[in-house]
């Protein structure tokens, strides 16, 4: 029995796992050492191979393959932030309960190995000096109450996913053919804070290449162009992360290569923010004024945001992702293609004990 060829016999999922393991080992090794540079080179090679090797195809549910590609894109941005663009030991520090920063260079290698694993695994920086803003602080509670609250949360979450999948299936199977019509989502997803830092870091690195005079300029033109460059660049990185999922699916199932409409969708979110700022400026609304907004302005903001998000989420993301990213076509209209994608995504969520309890499984 011949040993597998490292460069040809591994699939994209295996290379993704290898890149993560090698990233941890790289950070654990002495800073500036030749061995560290060599392992880093090997880590980058595995990451590149993860994009060009054959994706996961064993699962008949394309949403599972999409998730593996999405994970690859997320990890790539995470490596850029915590390994390629920064020296981890100097940039990132864990913070103890007393508020004291922990310096990784002083840790023994066994503890540094865990430090590196946590650095690459944490998404929102809780317990670190780079904690993402806007996360409410957890209230002190007993262990039993914590476990109870978590259990109830997961029961409701998985029940909601199960019901969403069943409703989507019932609509697809039970409704007659109709003419294509504008789509409506019933649930608005909340954008995760887990990728806020990793999409902003590459954008900031690109902006730092500009002349110092421009970066330090306080003119309105310079401030606005810097601000909106960061907005568009950050949304572009987010689009690339999500496009990795469609990249994996289209290659795995022999579909025409496509980003599933991800880049268009995310770039338009940035453009929408710019248009909102322009509207506020044209109407004389001070969007940066201190103090809470008036009730009228708050509810108007909710209405505009919800309207734009629902329309763009369905027409610019879900439908293109279903048709171009997953190859789902339904002669009854785009609504049914989108519903099938929802059903696939629900089934692809791991650990759904509610679905299993009703006789369903991830890959059925």
Give, for all 364 residues of the chain, the pLDDT tens digit: 455 555 556 888 889 999 999 999 999 998 889 999 999 999 999 999 999 888 765 556 787 888 888 889 999 999 999 999 988 988 888 887 777 888 888 888 888 999 999 999 888 777 888 877 766 666 666 777 777 877 777 777 777 766 666 666 666 565 544 333 322 222 223 344 567 778 888 888 888 888 888 888 888 888 888 988 888 888 888 888 888 888 888 888 888 888 888 898 888 888 888 887 888 778 776 666 666 767 777 777 778 778 888 888 888 888 888 888 888 887 777 777 777 777 777 777 766 656 655 555 444 4
The confidence score (pLDDT) of residue 177 equals 43
Which residues are within 8 A (CB) of 327 and not within 5 positions of it... i.e. 6 or more apart?
A: 62, 249, 250, 253, 255
The pLDDT score that the predictor gives to residue 15 is 92
Beta-carbon contacts of residue 246 (< 8 Å; ≥ 6 apart): 66, 69, 258, 259, 260, 262, 321, 324, 325, 326
From the list 83, 95, 85, the residue with the least C-alpha distance to 28 is 83
Closest CA to 340 of 165, 158, 186: 165
Q: How many other C-beta atoms lie within 10 A of the C-beta of residue 157? A: 13
Residue 290's pLDDT is what? Answer: 63
pLDDT of residue 295: 73
340 and 168 Cβ atoms separated by less than 8 Å: yes
Contact by Cβ (8 Å): 101, 261? no
Q: Return the closest-CA partner of residue 116 out of 92, 98, 100, 132.
A: 92
CA distance 91 to 172: 51
User: What pLDDT does 6 receive?
Assistant: 52
Q: Which long-range contacts (CB under 8 A, 24 or more apart) does 242-245 make?
A: 242/70, 242/73, 242/266, 243/73, 244/51, 244/69, 244/70, 244/72, 244/73, 244/74, 244/76, 245/65, 245/66, 245/67, 245/68, 245/69, 245/70, 245/73, 245/325
pLDDT at 249: 84
């Amino acid at each position: 029995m011949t040993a597998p060829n490292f460069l040809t016999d591994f699939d994209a999922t295996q290379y993704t796992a290898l890149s993560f393991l090698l990233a941890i080992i790289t950070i654990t090794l002495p800073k500036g050492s030749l061995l560290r540079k060599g392992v880093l080179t090997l880590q980058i090679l595995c990451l590149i191979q993860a994009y060009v090797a054959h994706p996961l195809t064993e699962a008949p549910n394309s949403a599972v393959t999409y998730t593996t590609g999405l994970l690859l894109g997320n990890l790539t941005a995470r490596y850029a932030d915590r390994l390629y663009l920064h020296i981890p030991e100097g940039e990132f520090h864990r913070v103890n309960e007393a508020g004291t920063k922990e310096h990784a260079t002083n840790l023994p290698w066994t503890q540094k190995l865990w430090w590196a694993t946590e650095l690459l695994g944490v998404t929102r920086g809780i317990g670190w000096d780079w904690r993402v803003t806007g996360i409410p602080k957890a209230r002190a509670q007993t262990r039993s109450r914590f476990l109870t609250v978590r259990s109830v949360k997961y029961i409701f979450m998985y029940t909601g996913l199960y019901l969403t999948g069943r409703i989507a299936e019932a609509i697809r199977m039970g409704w007659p053919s109709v003419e294509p019509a504008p789509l409506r989502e019933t649930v608005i997803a909340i954008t995760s804070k887990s990728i806020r830092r990793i999409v902003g870091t590459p954008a900031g690195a690109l902006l730092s290449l500009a002349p110092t005079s421009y970066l330090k300029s306080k003119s309105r033109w310079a401030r606005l162009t810097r601000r909106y460059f960061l907005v568009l660049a950050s949304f572009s990185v987010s689009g690339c992360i999500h496009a990795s999922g469609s990249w994996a699916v289209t290659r795995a199932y022999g579909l025409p290569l496509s980003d599933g409409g991800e880049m268009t969708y995310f770039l338009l979110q940035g453009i929408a923010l710019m248009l909102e700022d322009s509207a506020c400026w044209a109407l004389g609304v001070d969007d940066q004024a201190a103090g809470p907004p008036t009730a009228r302005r708050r509810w108007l903001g909710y209405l505009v945001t919800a309207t734009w998000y629902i329309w763009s989420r369905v027409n610019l993301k879900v439908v293109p992702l279903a048709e171009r990213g997953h190859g789902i076509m339904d002669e009854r209209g785009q609504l049914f293609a989108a519903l099938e994608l929802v059903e696939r995504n629900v089934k692809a969520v791991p650990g759904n004990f509610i679905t299993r309890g009703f006789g369903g499984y991830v890959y059925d």
